[in-house]
Structure 1
Amino acid sequence: MKKYYGLLLLLLATLTALAQSKSNLAYYLPQTVTYNPAIPTPASVLGYEVGEWHVSHDQLLMYMRAVDAASDRVTLTEYARTHEHRPLVLLTITSPENQRNIAQIKAEHHQLTDPAVSGRLDISRMPAVLWMGYSVHGSEPSGTNASLLAVYYLAAAQGPAIDETLRNTVILVDPSINPDGMSRFAGWVNSRRSKNLVTDPNNVEQNEVWPGGRFNHYWFDLNRDWLPLQHPESRGRLQQFHDWKPNLLTDHHEMSSNSTFFFQPGVPSRKHPLTPERNFELTKSIGAYHAKALDKIGSLYFTEENYDDFYYGKGSTYPDVNGAVGILFEQASSRGHAQETVNGILRFPFTIRNQVTTTLSSIEAVQALRPELLAYQRDFYQKVAGEARNQGVRAYVFGADQDPARSYELARIIRQHQIAVYRPKSALTLGGHMFSPTNAYVVPTDQPQFRLIQAMFESRTKFQDSIFYDISAWTLPYAFGLNTAAVTKAPKAGLLGQRLDSVSFPMGRVLGDKNAYAYAFSWHGYYAPRALNTLLARKVTVKVATEPFFIGDTKMDYGSIMVPVASQSLPADSLHALMQRIAVQNGLDVLAITTGLSPQGLKLGSVNFVTLKKPEIMLLAGQGVSPTDVGEAWHLLDNRFDMATSLVAPDALDRVNLDRYTVIVVSDGTYGGITPASREKLRAWVQRGNTLLAIGRGAKWLADNGMSTTRFKAAGTAPAPMAPETVASPVASNTTKAPAASPASARAGTPTAGLPPQQPYVGMRNTASAQEISGAIFSVRLDLTHPLGYGYESPDVHLFRDHTLFMERSASPYANPLMYTARPLASGFISKANELKLRNTAAVDIADVGAGRIISLVDDPNFRAFWYGTNKLFLNSIFFGQFIRAGSPTPSEE
């Protein structure tokens, strides 16, 4: 009897759980369809209802694999692994018949982007392709949790309507774009969830500690990496994107808790000019489906405000330059399980429901607009073909003979974007630069990705609007510090040489006799610092040339590295093998030298060869530091240059033995947690002969606290007064004029007693925003004889800037080796007032502090990991800071 009673209790418990699950699913999903009981519900796999807890990545993966195993509509593909080795997966969901013919469907769909064959395609019978991406920011979890319900619905829903949808659509679900950040965030909020939910915004659950789950392992914002492709998550995803060429991509995000829900289009004047107007029209048509769905459940929303479609490195904007439509969704965030807001208590399940609702409205829109979306993609590439043939630029050429590695890195990125790359057919001289067939690359414009090529290579300084959600410029040859030229007329002998289906890392080698007296390699190579670090880590004696010297007829420039063979701890044959290894690994030509008697310049025994010590590096990383800025430095040193680096919280300085470090990096940040005692400890450490490297607001913090003599211009309280017809518009561009004001408004705006004219209150926020530097590229001049300039071929360098800090020139003639030019804007937007402030200011300032020095860089030299052209400023500070002085020339060794 007891046995039967136990079975009865189990049955009742199971029925109760099923009833609760159905009730929970009814909150999120349509109940006008039936659901296949063979498909597991999220609760049956997770052990809790969606929204009760934040799903972890391993749980998410477990559910997706369970659905893949149970449904003939679903195929799961692992497309990459994160830095923390978590799988990234893409689910292909369509009808069973389409699944059986998926390769043919994919190939035919791909033909829409080929103008040579797309006109013959019958789009009336072709499925549309919808890509749905969730939670690129790990601390924006409603998207990822909504993906559980979206996949369940698509796999389990039954009826004529869903059958038709799946026949006519291939749906690609990327359920967690940032597994590392998502896992960090879910662990935080779940481990601090109370049984009785606490809605207090001050509660620890709703206030994740630094650096937060927004970012990936190295604290990068992956939503800015679609174009630069610096992380495995992005590289794997882009391969899948181009394998499919979707018609519509949805990108599910969260925003501040006191907001509501946003869907695109964004501000009409803030889309990129290369994006067709038809894209905006389709986005608006799709938006009508979102509005109808959100109206039905009573959710507040807004559109055509705040957000834009300008930077092509974002997930919702990259599709717009690839013949697709990208849609951004922004849901107010509960930041935990529930939180008090101006709109009442915002609960996690509610945030998920809005994401599910717009997921389903996206599917409905694709089904309804399928012919228009397919025709748009076909027409996009057909029009591009005509544009490419009729515009003036035939091709872009780029390269750097003394550093083929940087050219290779850019070419590799371009190839990943499905852009054809060639070698020049012969040597070229264009725009005052020489381009060789062995080290330069040619990108012809007459190819399907013409508009993306334009976006990569153009220098744009004219804009319809002056406000940008993200950066306003990203000209890739500037970012990589490469020589580049636009070819407007092909040479008579032809331009294109070998087509490169893949690009190869430069071949490094040791040149010369194995029985060497010494070895030397140029500092021009991008990966020369990695080679140097390898040598120093092996305790090899290494010297840097502070003046040029010659090996035969070969000039070795400032900063060249020399390794004597005698007096090393390694035997000569082991040292030779090590030199061979670093040459190959770093794409360097290492010269074996047979005599110390150089024909010109320094002799190898000169005191102007300075012996280097291995830098021991600390990165301040914690509360008060910008996670992205310190993450860029960490990624550069650890991931790219194999340099072990300590990450130390600023508030730990008072208990850390600083003498184990020779370089401390103070990245952009506020540093309010550093005590006066720690500041003095840091100052004493510098005085003992060490290097403090400060960037952006980190440099400003040092100056404000009297630790460096670097001076900054005082921030203006308001933009300079402008004519009434200019300020009447909320758009304040340095290149476009606003409409003239009416006579009445002109009279109201007349200046009085030297005061600026009165302006409409409604434009206050936009006027202020137009004075921000959201991200643009500027020209600077570099002293190539200075240790910070070692390895640069030209004094003309391009810096990226996204702030309004302006550094004054120093009284010392040696303290500012990098200066902004008199006309600094190279690409992007800056207001006229800020451009005037920036002219001829310092980009670097060096201050002597006892036997040590503080090197202050006003701009981030490692921006988003793709600003290869200024990485060497950062690395030179680390390796050569040990002998840099601001008040006198480089000291000789005694």
Structure 2
Amino acid sequence: MKKLLTLLFLLGYLYQSNAQKDYFFPKKQLNPAIPTPEQFLGYGIGLHHTRHDKLVEYMRELDRVSDRVTVQKIGETNEHREQIIVTFSAPENINRLEEIRKEHLALTDPSKPMPDTQKAPAIIWLGYNVHGNEPSGGEASILTAYYLTATQDPEALNWLKNAVILMEPVINPDGRDRHTHWANMHKGDPMVADANDREHNEVWPGGRTNHYWFDLNRDWYLAVNVESRNRLAYYHQWLPNVVTDFHEMGTNASHFFEPTKENAENPLVPKTVYKDLNSKFAKYFEQAMNEIGSLYYTKESFDNFYPGYGSSYPDMEGGLGLLFEQASSRGHLQESQNGDLSFGFTVRNQLVNALATIRASLVEKETLLKHQRNFFNETIAQGQKFPTKAYIIGDSYDQSRNRAFWDLLLQHNIEFYHLNNDMSESGQTFKKGKAILIPSAQPQYLMVRSIFDRPTTFADSLFYDASAWNLALAYGLPHAEIKGAFSKGERITKADLKPNPNSFNKSEYAYLIDWTDYYAPKALNQLLENQILTKAAFKKFSIGGKEYGHGTLLISVQKQKISSEELFQKLKQISQNTGVNIEPVSTGFSSTGIDLGSNSFQSVKKPQAMMLVGGGVTASEAGEVWHLLDTKIGMPITKVEVYNFARLNINRYNTIVLVGGNYSALDKASAQKLKAWVANGGTLITLKTGTEWVIKQDIAKEKLREVKADSSRNKTRIAFEDFQAAEGAKQTGGAIFEAELDITSPIGFGYTNKKMAIYRNNNTVLERSTGAANSVLVYTANPRITGYVHPESLKRIANSAAININYEGNGRVILFSDDPNFRGTWFGTNKLFLNALFFGSNISMGGQFAEEE
């Protein structure tokens, strides 16, 4: 019987392979000289998951055999997989791509003549597979590429004549290959449709995310990851008219195309995008899906509110972003409420919508081109009329954080300028060379507004993602609005991003490093890696005519293991590596505050850090810690699977990190083991639900602020269909709040302002600690700055603790109610986490520093 089933499956495999043309391209005229995907790969699309390298090889083969195709490498991922753009057009267009590109960019510049929209080609960007375990898009890109190369269909030939099609076959190559390997490794023969089969249930962290477990679909706006930065650089060279974003969703769903949920549109984007362009394009998707008999839906879910999706970012750039969500087979074949869902079926739905996008773009070409010209005309005019004529922003103490913000602005092609002189605005002083001016009247006006906007009222209370994304607050930079006339200095370019640390002379006494610099922890890590004895100031002082704050690093020349000359050379190298200024001093006598020999300078221990990862742990938050330490600090952290904790010797680590997640895999014995380790002198750092877990396990004697019973629950009826929305509105999906920081605490070292903005996307709320100095960061009485929060949640958050320190024996637990490293972009709160990492072991009972043994 088994042999018969195997034979039947093989016959079915061969049939489907031979029938691929009829299944995917019925009645289409295709050039037999162009190799089909099956001929090149050795299997039919939908019968096996294609590795990224084989996908790239096929695209390069199309480039080799056809003058309609050209492949360009735009970068590499963290795991050294190629990022490519495959361009399709008529041969005469391929031969003049650079000329076409420049002509198209002229369309986006109102100062230049309007191009002939009848002759100008449409620029179409087909983007696939931003989530690695949503692979139908990547496979559809192979078929789309084959069709555009091999087609002899008159309609498609007209597409190529009148469009330049830029294809990014896989936005997330690292994540895709993680999932591809999993699906192929577990594919059954015959295929197993049972949803419980291992093929359909990836192990942690799954293939959705990139190397550092980041969701790249949220990163267009934040531009944190290398994949996004490479893409944005190329994107802004073209500014396409239409951009697709192909996704997958739950297996029991059908297929979604825009328009998205009503009342969930970005208020800054012209309404014509949603009401006019989206509606026009939806008719083509409707027709394409009707023709193949596939079910679909619109309007009920998803949103365009956040500007950082692949389907919403183009709306801010004069284009049209289009989201597609296909029910996922999460493997090759899976049961669903709509019948067994095959991988090939999911691929075909994505394919027909890609072709429908091209068809719609060509029919609506003039509308798209005129929309893009009008868009930039109108946005510049809006910027000119906007009451805020410019924004001024910059930190007088931290040039590294300033430069990081400048780098972000350049990623989005935003114009900004140096100050001519020091300026005072809204009670703040901004220093020339440290602060910048960002005019409102510019082509990127909408992006500028997004970076500084603080909305607090919304048409809807349910959000697919964040409801706040103010990047000025995320970077923690002082800023103000300029309402009147202003003068600006030179425009800032990439050349201004290069660090320029001070040149300093050799000292035979000591050196100091100001801890306010964002990269001071990176310098400290290199000092400790080189076994250079380093102390931190736990009180302020002044020396050599300069004031130094809490956390200032002291490197004395005496008692080092290397000579004064070797130390000098090492410090020069560290300064160049990190961009951090180092100040030599020739005396230990301070004009004010502590002297350099005071016990208020404490030796800093090198962190031997470990973080629990694996089943139950929130992968994105673990990835943020890993990414921060890898890319910003250059410090290794050991990542240990939760299931290995019970047998692990944790005494080799002095710091353990628990990010958010479910730690139910740790039994009572493991909790007691962790508690004993803390009591023996360890530093435990917890975030969000990791904080909840250590409190519930009595590892930290703090309290959670519980949800108060709703007295109206039994009085007010809610319709069944409205209940989910009513409960969902109580979740804090992503908003920005104000809190007050104790800047004298080691957790607050390096901050100069007690008030700070923090990001919250959870409902973990800490009661303030019973220790008077143990609540380091506390939400203010009226804390919301921007974003949606339910009134009940806002009451719970007000006056609660954002960071508590709890002491257990010789150790401590540093509890964060939030995530200070959110999506790798919260430069303003990163240092809170880094301070816990580097200075945690120096904190003892009562908020005092630990005595040295």
Deviations 1:302-355 (A, max 9, x none): 001111001011110001111111010000000111111111111110000100
Shift of 1:584: 2.2
Secondary structure of 1:692's partner? strand
Shift of 1:798: 0.7
The 8 Å contact of residues 508 and 585 in structure 1, kept in 2 or not, is answered as: no
The answer on 1:362 being equivalent to 2:357 is yes
Q: CA distance change for structure 1 residues 358 and 55 in 2, over 3 Å: closer, same or farther?
A: same
The answer on 1:710 being equivalent to 2:702 is yes
Q: How do 1:801-816 residues align onto structure 2 when only pairs under 5 Å count?
A: 801-816=760-775
Give the equivalent residue in structure 2 for 1:229.
223
Q: How do 1:37-186 residues align onto structure 2 when only pairs under 5 Å count?
A: 37-118=32-113, 120-186=114-180
Give the equivalent residue in structure 2 for 1:305.
300
Give the equivalent residue in structure 2 for 1:759.
718
Letter in 1 for 2:21: L
Q: CA distance change for structure 1 residues 95 and 785 in 2, over 3 Å: closer, same or farther?
A: same
The 8 Å contact of residues 426 and 495 in structure 1, kept in 2 or not, is answered as: no
The answer on 1:594 being equivalent to 2:589 is no
Provide the C-alpha distance between the structure 2 equivalents of 1:504 and 1:636, rounded to a whole number of angstroms.
20
Residue among 339, 343, 350 paired with 2:345: 350
Provide the C-alpha distance between the structure 2 equivalents of 1:643 and 1:523, rounded to a whole number of angstroms.
17
Provide the C-alpha distance between the structure 2 equivalents of 1:186 and 1:17, rounded to a whole number of angstroms.
19
Deviations 1:650-683 (A, max 9, x none): 1111111111101000000111111221111111
Identity %: 39
Give the equivalent residue in structure 1 for 2:843.
884
Secondary structure of 1:385's partner? helix
Shift of 1:539: 0.7
The 8 Å contact of residues 624 and 670 in structure 1, kept in 2 or not, is answered as: yes
Provide the C-alpha distance between the structure 1 equivalents of 2:745 and 2:485, rounded to a whole number of angstroms.
39
Give the equivalent residue in structure 1 for 2:210.
216
The TM-score with structure 1 as length reference comes to: 0.92
Give the equivalent residue in structure 2 for 1:585.
577
Deviations 1:789-826 (A, max 9, x none): 00001011111000111111111101101000011011
The answer on 1:678 being equivalent to 2:678 is no
The answer on 1:261 being equivalent to 2:220 is no
Secondary structure of 1:117's partner? coil
Letter in 2 for 1:837: R
The 8 Å contact of residues 77 and 83 in structure 2, kept in 1 or not, is answered as: yes
The answer on 1:563 being equivalent to 2:558 is no
Shift of 1:502: 4.3
The 8 Å contact of residues 777 and 828 in structure 1, kept in 2 or not, is answered as: yes
Q: How do 1:227-376 residues align onto structure 2 when only pairs under 5 Å count?
A: 227-280=221-274, 281-376=276-371
Secondary structure of 1:685's partner? helix
Letter in 1 for 2:824: A
Provide the C-alpha distance between the structure 2 equivalents of 1:764 and 1:60, rounded to a whole number of angstroms.
45
Shift of 1:368: 1.0
Provide the C-alpha distance between the structure 2 equivalents of 1:610 and 1:886, rounded to a whole number of angstroms.
16
Residue among 399, 405, 410 paired with 1:404: 399
The answer on 1:456 being equivalent to 2:451 is yes
The answer on 1:833 being equivalent to 2:823 is no
Shift of 1:160: 2.0
The 8 Å contact of residues 550 and 750 in structure 2, kept in 1 or not, is answered as: yes
What root-mean-square deviation, in Å, do the aligned CA atoms of Structure 1 and Structure 2 show?
Answer: 1.5
Secondary structure of 2:852's partner? coil
Provide the C-alpha distance between the structure 1 equivalents of 2:808 and 2:494, rounded to a whole number of angstroms.
53
Letter in 1 for 2:794: E
Shift of 1:713: 1.5
The 8 Å contact of residues 700 and 806 in structure 2, kept in 1 or not, is answered as: yes
Shift of 1:100: 1.3
Shift of 1:785: 0.5
Secondary structure of 1:279's partner? helix
The 8 Å contact of residues 420 and 488 in structure 2, kept in 1 or not, is answered as: yes
The 8 Å contact of residues 778 and 803 in structure 2, kept in 1 or not, is answered as: yes
Residue among 198, 206, 210 paired with 2:200: 206
Provide the C-alpha distance between the structure 2 equivalents of 1:131 and 1:502, rounded to a whole number of angstroms.
30
The 8 Å contact of residues 390 and 482 in structure 2, kept in 1 or not, is answered as: yes
Give the equivalent residue in structure 1 for 2:642.
650
Letter in 1 for 2:497: S
List alignment gaps of at least 5 residues for structure 1.
1-15, 722-753
Letter in 2 for 1:192: H
Shift of 1:127: 0.8
Q: CA distance change for structure 1 residues 19 and 464 in 2, over 3 Å: closer, same or farther?
A: closer
Shift of 1:885: 2.8
Provide the C-alpha distance between the structure 2 equivalents of 1:74 and 1:863, rounded to a whole number of angstroms.
40
Letter in 2 for 1:540: I
Secondary structure of 2:125's partner? strand
Shift of 1:499: 4.2
Provide the C-alpha distance between the structure 2 equivalents of 1:323 and 1:380, rounded to a whole number of angstroms.
5
The 8 Å contact of residues 525 and 635 in structure 2, kept in 1 or not, is answered as: yes
Secondary structure of 2:705's partner? coil
Provide the C-alpha distance between the structure 1 equivalents of 2:149 and 2:708, rounded to a whole number of angstroms.
58
Secondary structure of 1:172's partner? strand
Letter in 1 for 2:52: H
Q: CA distance change for structure 1 residues 224 and 509 in 2, over 3 Å: closer, same or farther?
A: same
Residue among 497, 500, 504 paired with 2:493: 500
Provide the C-alpha distance between the structure 1 equivalents of 2:494 and 2:192, rounded to a whole number of angstroms.
56
Residue among 502, 518, 528 paired with 1:509: 502
Letter in 1 for 2:773: Y
Give the equivalent residue in structure 1 for 2:20.
24
Provide the C-alpha distance between the structure 2 equivalents of 1:429 and 1:291, rounded to a whole number of angstroms.
56
The 8 Å contact of residues 423 and 500 in structure 1, kept in 2 or not, is answered as: no
Letter in 2 for 1:84: E
Deviations 1:680-714 (A, max 9, x none): 11111111101000000000011111111121112
Secondary structure of 1:503's partner? helix
Give the equivalent residue in structure 1 for 2:622.
630
Deviations 1:617-658 (A, max 9, x none): 001111110000000000001122100110001111111111
Provide the C-alpha distance between the structure 2 equivalents of 1:498 and 1:61, rounded to a whole number of angstroms.
39
Shift of 1:85: 0.7
Shift of 1:545: 0.4
List alignment gaps of at least 5 residues for structure 2.
1-11
Secondary structure of 2:778's partner? strand
Give the equivalent residue in structure 2 for 1:871.
830
Letter in 1 for 2:273: N
Letter in 2 for 1:693: I
Letter in 2 for 1:876: N
Shift of 1:233: 0.5
Deviations 1:824-878 (A, max 9, x none): 0111111111111111000011110110001100000000001000000000000
Q: CA distance change for structure 1 residues 198 and 525 in 2, over 3 Å: closer, same or farther?
A: same
The TM-score with structure 2 as length reference comes to: 0.97
Q: CA distance change for structure 1 residues 683 and 375 in 2, over 3 Å: closer, same or farther?
A: same
Shift of 1:425: 1.2
Give the equivalent residue in structure 1 for 2:437.
442
The 8 Å contact of residues 412 and 502 in structure 1, kept in 2 or not, is answered as: no
Provide the C-alpha distance between the structure 2 equivalents of 1:788 and 1:664, rounded to a whole number of angstroms.
16
Provide the C-alpha distance between the structure 2 equivalents of 1:319 and 1:22, rounded to a whole number of angstroms.
39
Deviations 1:436-483 (A, max 9, x none): 121112111111111111011111112122211110111111000100
Provide the C-alpha distance between the structure 2 equivalents of 1:194 and 1:584, rounded to a whole number of angstroms.
55
Q: How do 1:406-805 residues align onto structure 2 when only pairs under 5 Å count?
A: 406-491=401-486, 494-500=487-493, 502-511=495-504, 513-716=505-708, 721=712, 755-805=714-764
Deviations 1:404-444 (A, max 9, x none): 01010011110111111210111111122211121112111
Give the equivalent residue in structure 2 for 1:395.
390
Provide the C-alpha distance between the structure 2 equivalents of 1:698 and 1:501, rounded to a whole number of angstroms.
40
The 8 Å contact of residues 707 and 796 in structure 2, kept in 1 or not, is answered as: no
Give the equivalent residue in structure 1 for 2:7.
none
Q: How do 1:2-21 residues align onto structure 2 when only pairs under 5 Å count?
A: 21=17
Give the equivalent residue in structure 2 for 1:731.
none
The 8 Å contact of residues 395 and 486 in structure 1, kept in 2 or not, is answered as: yes
The 8 Å contact of residues 848 and 885 in structure 1, kept in 2 or not, is answered as: yes
Letter in 2 for 1:486: E
Secondary structure of 2:496's partner? coil
Q: CA distance change for structure 1 residues 20 and 255 in 2, over 3 Å: closer, same or farther?
A: closer
- The size of the alignment, in residue pairs, is 841
Residue among 366, 369, 378 paired with 1:383: 378
Provide the C-alpha distance between the structure 2 equivalents of 1:815 and 1:100, rounded to a whole number of angstroms.
67
